Chain A
Amino acid sequence: MHMSEQNNPQPEASLAAGDWTPDMIRAEVNALKHKPGALLPILHAIQDRVGYIPEGAVPIVAELMQQTRAEVHGVISFYHYFRTRPVGSHVLQVCRAEACQARGGRELERHIQTRLGVAYQGTTSDNEFTLEPVYCLGNCACGPSISVNNEVHGRMTPQKFDRLTDTLTTTVLELK
């Protein structure tokens, strides 16, 4: 396997993406709770498996970790990366930081929001894309950069973006 290839978790055979069961959450917690400072690895594992961290997972994690629900909720809400709602088929992150600003990042950001018809944290009505801001993808000599499902795309332009979304969508996007 090339290390550059994405190792996306396999979806459950009988469950649709975003579905979860309490047993699934328990399994993730039990696999990791022996580690010192295990809460972040556990939350990552749940999000990798389900796509987000469901509200109903919080009491399960809290009980098994012997922490309060408030503590677990507090950790989830502190970190931008953890999501508490289901996302679209593709998570699209746009770099808002300075090096990309210097290469037209602000114009690209406006184009993307107009094209998709959503603001940050929004999901398109066809459930294809969830749009998120990101502050630096570490691709600063070849900006502006975006990432699609954690895969970085450099030297992005509005034209390249339109082509990229066209190839990613299975249905035709409704344009305003």
Chain B
Amino acid sequence: MTTIYVPCDTTALSLGADQVARQIQQRADQQGVEIQLVRNGSRGLFWLEPLVEVDTGQGRVAYGPVVPEQVTELLESGLLAGQPGHPLYLGPIEQHPYLQRQQRLTFARIGITDPLSLADYQAHDGFAGLEKAARLTPQQIVDEVKASGLRGRGGAAFPAGIKWQTVLDEPAGQQKYVVCNADEGDSGTFADRLVMECDPYMLIEGMAIAGLAVGATQGYIYVRSEYQLSQRMLDEAILRAEAAGYLGDDVCGSGQTFHLEVRLGAGAYICGEETSLLESLEGKRGLVRSKPPLPAIEGLFGQPTVVNNVLSLAAVPYILDKGGNAYAEYGMGRSLGTLAIQLAGNIKQGGLIEMAFGVTLREILEDFGGGSFTGRPMRAVQVGGPLMAYMPASQWDTPMDYEAFAALGAGIGHGGVVVFDDTVDMGEQARFAMEFCTVESCGKCTPCRIGSVRGVEVIDRIRAGDNRDDNLVLLAELCETMVDGSLCAMGGMTPFPVQSVMKHFPEDLMARPAPVEA
């Protein structure tokens, strides 16, 4: 029997994957051909979604991007036999250059498996890391994570092993927690979503390992409210993992307890900041806390808590299975392992690119991305989310490495890369950075709450040509105040994109000509 794969992640669904799947099934039924239709995860080649794959017995052959209206002609041209000929035929998908060049450690299974199939997960090294961890002491698990050099993938890049050690070192016998930050709010990022929708057991496994490592019996995954498909996938995967003994009162025969629950956020960007997230999990307004105390010592409900991003926890099963040293063989300098780069915005071939640290931004934009979607020259790239710098072409040869980006006043953040072509108005982008902060500031500290409002006003005056030079000085001082005086990264980093526009794209902060009436 022929097996057909039609992805079920948000991007594929947003482009009609459900209709494509329904039509394939209907047409096959009409022709009396028996097929097995699998809703796999996405491989992350998003410009090709919906990407339909056919297992011909000699590997999987792909067609894409398939729109529902093309299903009939694709079947007539021999899709069920994996035949070439149709313009959407892509050949054996594993040999696609976009995938061949990648180093997929975390995303090794993505798009290959049915996300909720435990058998699929187990057949692709799933739970091997947890089974090993169940036979190790907590200190041995933490040592393995330390050896991997894994740094937090949420943006701050703090060494994960040291965080885990701090929680492990807190006295045993008290309640400890593992909290997964799945509040993936940065524009241009979707790697957390892909993990949760396309390989949810990997996150569950990583969290169970973290629980064994630090002696936590309860975990929470805080998922943003925009990701309700992720929530449904995780809820179902948790039930199945519990039934199979990977969660619950005896994790993998270790005698240790670890329960897991998904909690939904409610549309607040600030809740991606870890202390704000903890407040939210406690049922409060998401106001950031002053640090210290660190969450590792006084976190959720005042108890020692590991707070890690989805990608940090998702890297852990590989590290435990293959060893920390195997992971550390990838990367450069102090940035070890692989980075999930999410290529987005005005780009021809957007998607997920997992590569060892060290690949240059230009390789990502040109070799993978193939230039802008519109075909116009690319002008600015924002790496790392709405609180990071806009980078001009002169900086694109920088290797993706935490320290190399920091040296430019830029950052890698959560790995999102948003491309703009030459029609972008960078003055408008600077204004938006401040505007976004007015909407999303938690309001606790003045530089962020008031500074962002003043920032929008000053930029409006500059763009209107009102006392431009003086207002540029004022804007520079305002940015400094926000950077130095804000309680957390929200107000402290909102100026970064603004400052980068002032430095690299000053011509866009000139007074704009009055709009011509059409």
Binding site for B on A (CB under 8 A): 2-5, 7, 36-41, 43-44, 74-75, 78-82, 97-103, 134-143, 145, 147, 150-155
Contacts of A134 in B (CB 8 A): 226, 267
Contacts of A37 in B (CB 8 A): 263, 281-283, 301
> Is the interface on chain B under 10, 10 to 19, 20 to 34, or 35 or more residues?
35 or more
Contacts of B350 in A (CB 8 A): 140-142
Q: Are A4 and B229 touching (Cβ within 8 A)?
A: yes
Chain A, residue nearest B436 (CB): A135
Contacts of B232 in A (CB 8 A): 3, 7
In the bound complex, what is the Cα–Cα distance between A41 and B227 (angstroms)?
A: 15
Q: Are A150 and B228 touching (Cβ within 8 A)?
A: yes
Q: Which of B188, B236, B351 has the most CB of A within 10 A?
A: B188
Contacts of B436 in A (CB 8 A): 97, 135
Contacts of A154 in B (CB 8 A): 11, 14-15
B279–chain A nearest beta-carbon distance, Å:
9
The listed residue (A38, A82, A103, A153) touching B14 by CB distance below 8 A is A153
Q: Are B8 and A3 touching (Cβ within 8 A)?
A: yes
13 further interface pairs, Cβ-Cβ under 8 Å (given A37-B301, A78-B286, A152-B13): A3-B229, A36-B282, A43-B266, A75-B283, A81-B265, A97-B436, A98-B345, A101-B432, A103-B373, A137-B10, A139-B10, A140-B188, A141-B47
In the bound complex, what is the Cα–Cα distance between A100 and B347 (angstroms)?
A: 11
The listed residue (B10, B265, B386, B439) touching A98 by CB distance below 8 A is B386
Q: Are A75 and B285 touching (Cβ within 8 A)?
A: yes
In the bound complex, what is the Cα–Cα distance between A5 and B232 (angstroms)?
A: 10
In the bound complex, what is the Cα–Cα distance between A7 and B231 (angstroms)?
A: 12
Contacts of A40 in B (CB 8 A): 263-266, 280-281, 283
Binding site for A on B (CB under 8 A): 8, 10-11, 13-15, 17-18, 39, 46-47, 49, 115-116, 184-190, 193, 225-229, 232-233, 236, 263-269, 280-286, 301, 342-347, 350-351, 373, 382, 386, 416, 418-421, 424, 429, 432, 436, 439-440, 442
B228–chain A nearest beta-carbon distance, Å:
5
Q: Are A79 and B14 touching (Cβ within 8 A)?
A: no
Contacts of B263 in A (CB 8 A): 37, 40-41
Chain B, residue nearest A40 (CB): B283
Contacts of A142 in B (CB 8 A): 11, 14-15, 46-47, 49, 350
In the bound complex, what is the Cα–Cα distance between A141 and B49 (angstroms)?
A: 11
Chain A, residue nearest B385 (CB): A98
Q: Are A136 and B187 touching (Cβ within 8 A)?
A: yes
Chain B, residue nearest A42 (CB): B283
Q: Label chain A's interface by main secondary structure.
A: loop
Q: Are B283 and A39 touching (Cβ within 8 A)?
A: yes
Chain B, residue nearest A4 (CB): B8
Known: A3-B236, A99-B418. A141 touches B280 (CB 8 A): no
Known: A4-B8, A81-B267, A98-B187. A135 touches B440 (CB 8 A): yes
Contacts of A4 in B (CB 8 A): 8, 13, 17-18, 39, 229
Q: Are A139 and B8 touching (Cβ within 8 A)?
A: no
List 10 A–B pairs whose Cβ atoms lie within 8 Å, in order of A's numbering: A3-B233, A99-B344, A102-B419, A102-B420, A135-B185, A136-B185, A140-B344, A141-B47, A141-B344, A150-B228
Q: Are A138 and B10 touching (Cβ within 8 A)?
A: yes
In the bound complex, what is the Cα–Cα distance between A136 and B439 (angstroms)?
A: 14
9 closest cross-chain pairs (CB), A and B: A141-B350, A39-B283, A81-B267, A97-B187, A79-B266, A140-B344, A154-B14, A102-B345, A80-B267
Q: Are A102 and B226 touching (Cβ within 8 A)?
A: no
B474–chain A nearest beta-carbon distance, Å:
25
Known: A39-B283, A102-B346, A134-B226. A140 touches B416 (CB 8 A): yes
